[in-house]
Structure 1
Amino acid sequence: MKSKVQLISQIKKEHKKTHMHIPMIFIVVSTLVLSVLSLADLEWEDKISINRGFSLFCYGLVFFTVLYHTLNNLLLRTSSGQRFIKTYKLSVGDVYDISNKIVSAIQALFCCLTGLTCCTYSCFRNILRTSHYISEAYAWFGAAYFLYDIWSMYKVHSMKILQATVNGDAKKSGVKFLNYLKTHAVIVGHHIFIGAFGFLVITYLRGGLGDCFFGFVYLMEASTPFVSLRGILSKIGLKSSNLYVVNGLVMLAVFFICRVAMFPGVIYLYSQSVDLDYFSAIESLPRGCKISILILLLPQIYWFFLMVKGASQVLKRKVTKKKTSKNVH
């Protein structure tokens, strides 16, 4: 069993890893540039070969992993980062968590750019058959994110456990990666399922359908940057700020539009393209497609309900505080 001295030493080792942010920034930019250049010879509607796709997957794995380390470096090893940490009294675990959320937001922005490109190109042509190579290309690149994020969440969890152990608040447990996979089976399973399911549907199981529909699926990530910002604001103690409330309301609106209302909207587009009424169009969909829609839609409705509930509680607290402060004055 490790002593507190050993555990503190392990935390310091994590600090020592974070002093190479300039080379890391170069690697992050290089992998992104190489990913774009690897697609330069493609025509708009070309398909992504397995060899090209695997290269994009490797670029993605390096990009997201090194980006995460770069953000940790900038916060832990630069003077401005140190000031930020001291101002908001953050632990190393908090820094890891913030970096994880920033990478998540950046990945979501990439998804949105992919979705906008797909919709702009495909939805004004034959929406059932027209595709853009960026859809498959980012399916390969973005699939790496889900593997990275499992590892990143483990790093956040592991550091928090180490610090709790040093402070005498917890016993040493859950630090091993396999232990983490067992204790967080739901979120790990969700990442593996969404990553694998989305990748296979977009690259191989789409049944010849065009990217107008899959572009909207990519746009589901539009709410993620606001979710990430909400978590960061909470972490730095600004949960009662006006920015937190405004961000939460915007997050709620974007989530509803892109993750709930999007489904009936896309089905309406489909009904128009096949010249059927709305419900006949739903009936005409393949069984696998209808099951996929339910798998994607039902969790969104549940999460939206939780968000509405949380937002109403925040607004109630705001109103109560204002009334209290008025009564005091």
Structure 2
Amino acid sequence: METTVAKGRQRAVAAVLAVSNVASLLTALNVVSDLRPEDKITIKRGCALTLLGLVYFTTLFELLNTLALSSSLRHKYRLSCGDVLDVNNKLVSAVQALFCCVTGAVVLGWSCARDVVHASHFVSEGYAWFGAAYFFYDIWSMYMVHVNMVLGDVKDKSRKPKNGALAAAPAKLSPTFFQYCKHEPVILFHHLFIGGFGFLVIVYLRGGLGDCVFGFVYLMELSTPFVSFRGILSRLKLKATRAYVLNGVLMLLTFLFCRVLSLPYVCYMYSKVIGLSYFETIQSLPTGCKVSIFILLLPQLYWFYLMSAGAVKVFRGPQEKRS
């Protein structure tokens, strides 16, 4: 009887989350449905989009958690609670990346075809407002994953016999948010930079510049689904499969072209427009612009190095085993 009641409550919670999730997305689309391509997003519309974005990403994460924690797949792959939250965090990240890619495609198709420097489309600002919520939601989501991972590790250790008896678990198990910040400083800085300063650049600080450049920035997220699926396959203990290797190759290629080489290519496009050489163009950029590019590009180079090193280990592994 108690099991039936629990399942009924679970279904009710999942239904409420699903309705809230779909309603928030449809409402966000309705907020911008009457705009023309050249229109600007007002602060009132923008705030509404940010609130709807926060509802959308949070309810999607909680919906996936509600469904996955009671799924047979969790037991099939022996996933802990932390593993489930981590997988769902990555799924939400992939969904956000797809939204970014759609936005980037619209912007490139409209703005770059008209005027590389000045043409704009409202979807660029619109998703800046909506998507900014993701980066702040994701900080909370990653913290929840970290907490459950730590708690799971501590519980596992406490179950292991020590001198014939179970070890006592520490009284304070859950890490604080500040401890988590020390644990993941790079990704946190990246989220705050993109969600805060990046948002301000697209919405307020760009001056009279158009959206073509930001279309390439949005398309940087094309590699994110492959990064997410790599982590998911790892959690499912499917590293030895062809799917993992193929996904890794696609991840490296999309990361290289969309994150490492895209910004230098944008500078090349701009050099053709203003009629200067590549290095003269970079020198002519405002200091704030050059600093922003450096801050945005540096973590990509670091992550690409880590991915490449991991790929080398994967490909060397089978060869070392054969020898």
What's the TM-score once normalised by structure 1's chain length?
0.87
Matched, 1:74 2:71: no
Contact 1:32 1:59 in 2 (8 A): yes
Q: Which among 154, 161, 183 is matched to residue 150 of structure 2?
A: 161
Give the conservation status (yes or no) of the 8 Å contact 2:223–2:258: yes
Q: Aligned AA for 2:45?
A: R
Instruction: Name structure 1 gaps, 5 residues minimum.
Output: 1-14, 325-329
Q: Which moved more, 1:226-235 or 1:176-185?
A: 176-185
Structure 2, unpaired ranges of 5+: 1-6, 159-168
Decide whether the 8 Å contact of 1:174 with 1:183 is kept in 2: no
1:176 Cα offset (Å): 4.1
Q: 2:58 aligns with which of 65, 83, 92?
A: 65
- Which 10-residue stretch deviates more, 223-232 or 146-155? 146-155
Q: Which amino acid aligns with 1:287?
A: T
Query: In the TM superposition, what is the alpha-carbon distance from 1:182 to its structure 2 partner?
Result: 5.5
- After superposition, the Cα gap between the structure-2 partners of 1:161 and 1:309, relative to the gap in structure 1 and judged at 3 Å, is closer
Q: Does 1:98 align with 2:87?
A: yes
Superposed CA offset, 1:211-262 (max 9, x none)? 1100000111111100000000000100111111111111000000001111
| Separation of aligned partners in 2, 1:240 and 1:318 | 10
Instruction: Give distance in 2, aligned partners of 1:197 and 1:319.
Output: 45
Give, in angstroms, the shift of residue 189 of structure 1: 3.4
1:119 counterpart SS class? helix
Report deviation, 1:21: 1.4
Q: Is the 8 A contact 1:174 1:180 kept in 2?
A: no
* Selected match of 2:38 from 38, 45, 70: 45
In the alignment, what sits opposite 1:54? 47
Q: Distance in 2 between matches of 1:47 and 1:260?
A: 30
Preserved contact between residue 18 and residue 76 of structure 1 (Cα < 8 Å): no
AA in 2 matched with 1:29: V
Q: Which residue of 2 aligns with 1:21?
A: 14
Deviation track 1:70-127 (CA, whole Å, cap 9, x = no partner) reads: 10111123xxx2x211111111111111110100110111111111111110111111
The answer to whether 1:272 aligns with 2:237 is no
Greater alpha carbon shift after TM alignment, 280-289 vs 244-253: 280-289
Taking only aligned residues, the RMSD between alpha carbons, in angstroms, comes to 2.0
Instruction: For 1:266 and 1:181, locate their aligned partners in 2 and report how far apart those are by CA, in whole Å.
Output: 33
Distance, in Å, in 2 between the alignment partners of 1:174 and 1:197 is 31
Q: Distance in 1 between matches of 2:38 and 2:9?
A: 43
Deviations 1:32-57 (A, max 9, x none): 11000100111101111111000000
Question: Residues of 1 paired with 2:288 and 2:8: CA distance?
Answer: 50
1:140-182 C-alpha deviation (Å, 9 max, x unpaired): 1111011111111121122223333333446333444455446
Does residue 303 of structure 2 align to residue 310 of structure 1?
Answer: no
What is the percentage of aligned positions where both structures have the same residue? 52
Aligned residues: 306
AA partner of residue 196 (structure 1): G
What amino acid does structure 1 have at the position aligned with 2:133? Answer: A
Letter in 2 for 1:49: T
Could you tell me whether the CA contact under 8 Å between 2:107 and 2:124 is conserved in 1?
yes
Q: 184-193 or 54-63, which moves further after superposition?
A: 184-193
